[in-house]
Amino acid sequence: MSDTEHQEDGHGSLVINNKKLLMWLFLGSDCMFFGTLISTHLIYRKLYPESYDPLLVFDLELTSFSTFILLMSSFLMALAVSAMHKGELKSFRRNTIGVIFFGLIFLACQVYEFAHFTNEGLTLSTNTFGSTFYMMTGTHGVHVAIGVFWLICLYFYSYTGKMNAHESAIDVEVAGLYWHFVDIVWIIIFTAVYLIEYIPGLH
């Protein structure tokens, strides 16, 4: 009996599924990657507080909306994983489409935000704030785009009739882990990069 068969219910066995373990290890390493990007941004922000005033370009309402959208997409992703574990393919498709839709809205908001910032004169090479900000949020955006692409692939794959409750539940769960990770990274970025700038007298 393979480890995958042991992992039939996804939770209750003694053996850990290899795909799931690898994804968690990857997410641990990705934590370090984003940790470095966020650290760099915050440290340069502290070293050069006068280099740029982000309140000139930030739009907190838009960013809060993006955050809300990403949180709700995470909720739908959890439902999609749950549906797969129950073997409910229709419910899985419905929730996955919701996640894809929300992911695309988030990306659209980010493209709009970047375009707005560029029009206001903040580019990658303007100053240290621009460099670290675009690098960090851009990397996160690429992660979201990869997640959306992955989910679109899973959605269409569900129509091939090749999905089975054992393997596919784990595959969807692994995709879900990736999506949730993208969400938690944004939770940190939202607070550490956007909200903190609005606290009067902190800098």
Partner 1 sequence: MTDTDYTPLPVAPDSHKDTETERYHTFVNLALILAAITGIELVLVYMPFHPIFIFTSLLALSLFKFVAVVAWFMHLIYDKLILTLAFGTGMVIATGTFVALGFLLSSNWVDVDAITQF
> Which residues contribute to the site for partner 1 (CB under 8 A)?
9, 11, 16, 20-21, 24-25, 27-32, 34-36, 38-40, 42-43, 46-48, 60, 64, 67-68, 71-72, 74-75, 77-79, 81-82, 85-90, 159, 161, 163-165, 168, 173, 176-177, 180-181, 183-184, 187-188, 190-192, 195-196, 198-202
What's the CA gap between 100 and 176, in Å, rounded? Answer: 12
Six-digit token string for 173: 């769960």
Comparison of 94 and 118: residue with beta carbon closer to partner 1:
94
Instruction: Provide the minimum distance between the beta carbon of 128 and partner 1 in the complex, in angstroms, as a whole number.
Output: 10
Whole-angstrom CA distances from 1 to 4, 8, 84, 158, 181 are 8, 11, 22, 26, 31
Comparison of 115 and 187: residue with beta carbon closer to partner 1:
187
What is the greatest pairwise CA distance in the chain?
A: 63
Comparison of 115 and 159: residue with beta carbon closer to partner 1:
159
Comparison of 75 and 150: residue with beta carbon closer to partner 1:
75
Instruction: Provide the minimum distance between the beta carbon of 200 and partner 1 in the complex, in angstroms, as a whole number.
Output: 6
Instruction: Provide the minimum distance between the beta carbon of 151 and partner 1 in the complex, in angstroms, as a whole number.
Output: 15
The phi and psi torsions of 15 (rounded to 5 degrees) equal: -100, 140
What's the CA gap between 176 and 52, in Å, rounded? Answer: 37
Comparison of 152 and 196: residue with beta carbon closer to partner 1:
196
Instruction: Provide the minimum distance between the beta carbon of 153 and partner 1 in the complex, in angstroms, as a whole number.
Output: 15
- Give the contacts of 74 (CB within 8 A, at least 6 positions apart): 179, 180, 183
Burial of 157 (0-12, 13-18, 19+ CB in 10 A): middle
